[in-house]
Homo-oligomer: A and B are copies of this chain.
Amino acid sequence: MSKGKILLVGFGPGAREHMSVRAIEAIKESDVVIGYTTYIKLVQDQLEGKTVIKKGMTEEIDRCIEAYEQAEEGKVVALISSGDIGVYGMAGPTYEVLLKSGWTPESDIEVEVVPGSTALSACASLVGAPLTHDFCSISLSDLLTPWPTISKRIEAAASSDFVVALYNPKSGRRTQQIVEAQRILLQYRKPETPVAIVKSAY
């Protein structure tokens, strides 16, 4: 069987001009492109002639397994993600699926991670608040991380004067986490501390 390849591609904050040269090339050289429906839409103009596999929000592991199976068939597979594919992205779960399947870095299937500009720094750039000082990133989604762990991190970040970026602040069902985060932050920060709320920025 010929060697397959998995390209884990972060395409940055959304606009094509903020993709790296390597990210564009990686999609170009792939036979199969796999991604969350919204991500596929963002790179639609680059997908002609490729097998495109769209998956929903909850099908993360399915995407990884699909990528592995296609690569085992000798295909070059791009698994795409906005921002940096490492940062709360698909790189982690893909490595987990690969390692559980017996894959090793020496095995037939090559894996390349293509870094991208994160929402964290891209959005900070956009609102004129560059990350000049120490910063941290905390996801408010308690789907996989217990809330006490998240809340401890918010407290630690607030009390030691990090610039704080909150990912996944709120969803239809999760509405209290952002309120609780604000309560914790206000124990240490002045009410006039600037906050930027950024959505669909690029």
* Chain A interface residues toward B at CB < 8 A: 8, 10, 12-13, 15-22, 24-25, 84-89, 91-93, 95, 105, 113-118, 121-122, 124-126, 128, 130-139, 145, 149-150, 152-153, 155-157, 159-162
User: 5 other contacts beyond A116-B121, A156-B156, with CB at 8 A cut-off?
Assistant: A12-B117, A21-B21, A93-B132, A149-B161, A156-B160
- Count copies of this chain in the complex: 2
Q: Which residues of B are found within 8 Å of A138, using beta-carbon distances?
A: 134
Q: Which of B16, B24, B132 contacts A91 (CB 8 A)?
A: B132
Task: Assess the A85–B130 pair: CB atoms within 8 A.
Answer: yes
Give chain B nearest CB distance to A38 CB in angstroms: 20
A139 and B132 alpha carbons, distance in the complex (Å): 10
Q: Which residues of B are found within 8 Å of A93, using beta-carbon distances?
A: 132
Task: Assess the A125–B115 pair: CB atoms within 8 A.
Answer: yes
Q: Which residues of B are found within 8 Å of A124, using beta-carbon distances?
A: 86, 115
Closest residue to A89 on the B side, CB-wise? B130
Task: Assess the A130–B17 pair: CB atoms within 8 A.
Answer: no
A112 and B65 alpha carbons, distance in the complex (Å): 40
Q: Which residues of B are found within 8 Å of A21, using beta-carbon distances?
A: 16-21, 24
Q: Which of B12, B18, B134 contacts A137 (CB 8 A)?
A: B134
Task: Assess the B86–A121 pair: CB atoms within 8 A.
Answer: yes
Give chain B nearest CB distance to A5 CB in angstroms: 15
